[in-house]
Structure 1
Amino acid sequence: MRIRQLTAEEYDERIALSEFAFQFKLPPERLEEDRRHFRPEEHWGAFDENGKLLSALILLPLHIYVQGRVLPMGGLAGVATWPEHRRGGNVTKLLVRSLEEMRAQGQSVSMLHPFAFPFYRKYGWEFTVERKRYEIETSILPRPDTGGRIERVAKDAEEFKEIYARFASGYVGMLARSEEWWRRKVESKSGTAALWRDAGGNPQGYILYEVQNRLLSVHDWAYAGEEARAGLWSFIANHDSMADRVHVTVPPDDGLPFLLPNPRFKQELVPYFMSRIVDVEGLIAQYSFREGDKEEELVLQVADSYAPWNDGRFRIVFGADGQGRIAAKTTREEPGGYGAGDRTEPDAACDIRALTAMLLGNRRPEWLRQAGLLQGSEEAVALLGRRIPSAVPYLADFF
């Protein structure tokens, strides 16, 4: 078996596998559009000795917000295998190869939407992102007078991008959308767009939505602050003559139920995406830790069965300014056994999934220790707790 990137000539074979595996059929016009946008270098396949495609996945070069910084991220999608070649280790080899490729490209983190959470947990990905879904009657929505105004605009309004960036940077895992992403994934959605401005005329919120069969569906929205959020909800409420209900997806920390006179409406908290640390050393160097009174350090032992460069001991130095760095490491990639500089015993230990949950999933070190997923002294766990910021994971998009 050989693992390699696809060629442009293998588009039809790749689409046939995807259509079979995910049970869909592209109409002819969509098929040709996808062919024009096909990037074979993003598609990796497992081929037999005769060159037949057995399994494939897509490795997307994306960027996400993590603690306010934009980091390169490897987005995995479209993982598929012909049924006669399943359970033969093809996907395992593809995933291992994708980890090597992401590391080489400087993508220290990865994300994916799983068909089954237990399957990807075996390979080091962990559940990090959940979302709320609301189905709410327009009759119970408030109509506060925020002093701002709403205006209908084109779906490619430039103001949307700055508002989105301000909103997205407050969460862990939100995409830093490219121009192409805006064009193909957001502006192409059906419906209407509106922009909310504050009393000074500054754009602070937007919404893309449509109304059909007395249902208002929000496709995309963002707001920079509570006033803009309230203004958009007031705008939605004013559709009560044409819509009885609203469907919308919101971050897990959304506080609308508390702000309503009657919080009893349909709310669903949905497990959504998984994340994985691809390169521990690379992420530590890019991560925004909390500031401290002085420089501190901790030796952390990490277990990672599929990325040997992560499997070992790391002496992490937390600067007073919140900048982290690996001062010493010994991993399976290196000879000589475990150790970190002149330190021989770790202060704390966990596997790559627990570390991912800590840094990208807002699972607090204290809770992970109680759950048996993080081992270490109270002092070591307290150090991690005060240095790792609390930040809500969220992802509004899909890939």
Structure 2
Amino acid sequence: MTADSGTELRTLRSTEWDTWFDTLERAFGGAPKAPGIRALWRTLTEPERALGAWAGDDCVGTAGAFSFGLSVPGGALVAAAGVTMVSVAATHRRRGLLTAMMRSQLDEVHRRGEPLAALIASEPDIYGRFGYGMAAYQLSAMIDTHRVGLSVPDGTDTVRIRYADPVASLDACEAVYARQVPQRPGMLVRRPGWERLAVVEADGSGRAGGVPLQCVLAERDGVTVGYARFRNRPEWDAAGPRGTVVLCDLEALDPAAHAALWRFLFDVDLTSWLSLPNRPADDAWQHLVSDIRRCQLRLRDALFVRVVDVPASLRARTYRTPVATVLQIEDSMCPWNDGRWRLTGDADGAECARTGAAPEVVLSARDLGCAYLGGISLTALASAGRVHELKPGALTQASAAFASDLAPWTAHAF
């Protein structure tokens, strides 16, 4: 298809991948990926889901999608397009290329029958106009481990922590991760190969300098019940060692394993700081520490969700409290969603169908994306003037029903 008078938008051909990826790298500052990391991204790219905008032989725009499953409230794993690698060359701004790619991509997601699309935005103000709503936060922290202590639960001492080779332990770690996915909304079911992204530098294929990746396993009776991967950045000053442990990822199957891993990270020799770049907003370690103020907490936007098929999406999740309401969804980008939908549901399941009944709550597709995983309340959106109640009490009921017990979170970028 033609995006503007001089640009062709088409599905990526396998022979064009290097040029396409070079365009993406330039748009994100020009720093090239290490060879091993670049090779892995090439393997993970789904060419049939990748778009390139071409001006002659020059690639001037990129967009792609990964085929994921996304965990939703209730534990269902819903087919979702992981939107990624979106860029427009600085030479071709303000020509409608981004809109054309987003339009083409949403149509393709709908044709494939995927109820959801999701992305992690480089700039959060871009994607709201295409119906993506900020649905999950990530928590970062910098913990002064010399001044902050831990209070661990009973059973922590029954967990053995041992070092493991990050590459050799991939299967054990991935099995733990897979068991965690249905437990928290926003987690990704990923295709084989994705687990290598966490350790590509550790096997030497992606080495770009820096501090080696380390891994520890939490075991009980010889069974792996958790893991942590991290980097130890040494530093010294006149008073002695003050290194930093940078946590890359951590998953555990029970509170004792979780606490044992955190206790290990707090106790790494010659370190004074523990850096957490990406953790769930309600991560349990916050209730183990002695002084939360010295943990320097910070929230930022993380996962953006786009409801591509309203009835399929709303039927796929469960609801914390019973709900029976009529939602009026405003969605010019996906007109098949636009209109009134009767939603009835509870903790056991839900039904959603078109209706001619009077609307009770009015919201945009973007706002539905915000609320879908249960981390952003409809009541909060209404207080910002973005969601509107037409029937008294309907908003409170719907907001309570959409809530999730656990904060939605995505463990890694894509």
Corresponding residue to 1:149 among 152, 160, 171: 160
Post-superposition offset of 1:32: 5.7
TM-score (norm 2): 0.83
Q: Distance in 2 between matches of 1:221 and 1:21?
A: 31
Which secondary structure state, in structure 1, belongs to the residue aligned with residue 122 of structure 2? coil
Match of 1:309 in 2: 336
Match of 2:213 in 1: 191
Post-superposition offset of 1:37: 5.6
Q: Distance in 1 between matches of 2:60 and 2:223?
A: 53
Which secondary structure state, in structure 1, belongs to the residue aligned with residue 130 of structure 2? coil
TM-score (norm 1): 0.86
Match of 2:261 in 1: 232
Q: Distance in 1 between matches of 2:214 and 2:45?
A: 29
Match of 1:129 in 2: 136
Corresponding residue to 2:99 among 89, 92, 95: 92
1:277 aligns with 2:307: yes
Q: Distance in 2 between matches of 1:79 and 1:10?
A: 16
Q: 1:36/1:383 Cα in 2 relative to 1: closer, same or farther (>3 Å)?
A: closer
Q: Distance in 2 between matches of 1:232 and 1:73?
A: 31
Q: Distance in 2 between matches of 1:28 and 1:69?
A: 36
1:263 aligns with 2:292: yes
Q: Distance in 1 between matches of 2:409 and 2:288?
A: 21
Match of 1:334 in 2: none
Residues 211 and 217, structure 1, Cα contact 8 Å, conserved in 2: yes
Q: Distance in 1 between matches of 2:116 and 2:303?
A: 13
Q: 1:128/1:34 Cα in 2 relative to 1: closer, same or farther (>3 Å)?
A: closer
Q: 1:9/1:316 Cα in 2 relative to 1: closer, same or farther (>3 Å)?
A: same
Residues 298 and 316, structure 1, Cα contact 8 Å, conserved in 2: yes
Which secondary structure state, in structure 1, belongs to the residue aligned with residue 190 of structure 2? coil
Q: Point out where structure 1 has 5 or more consecutive residues left out of the alignment.
A: 330-339
Which secondary structure state, in structure 2, belongs to the residue aligned with residue 106 of structure 1? coil
Q: 1:27/1:379 Cα in 2 relative to 1: closer, same or farther (>3 Å)?
A: closer
Corresponding residue to 1:242 among 270, 283, 290: 270
Q: Distance in 2 between matches of 1:251 and 1:325?
A: 30
Match of 1:332 in 2: none
Q: Distance in 2 between matches of 1:97 and 1:60?
A: 15
Give the % identical residues. Answer: 23
RMSD: 2.5
Q: Distance in 1 between matches of 2:44 and 2:14?
A: 10
Post-superposition offset of 1:180: 0.9
Q: Which amino acid aligns with 2:270?
A: M
Match of 2:54 in 1: 47
Residues 63 and 71, structure 1, Cα contact 8 Å, conserved in 2: yes
Match of 2:23 in 1: 17
Aligned residues: 379
Post-superposition offset of 1:28: 7.7
Q: Which amino acid aligns with 1:314?
A: W
Match of 1:172 in 2: 185
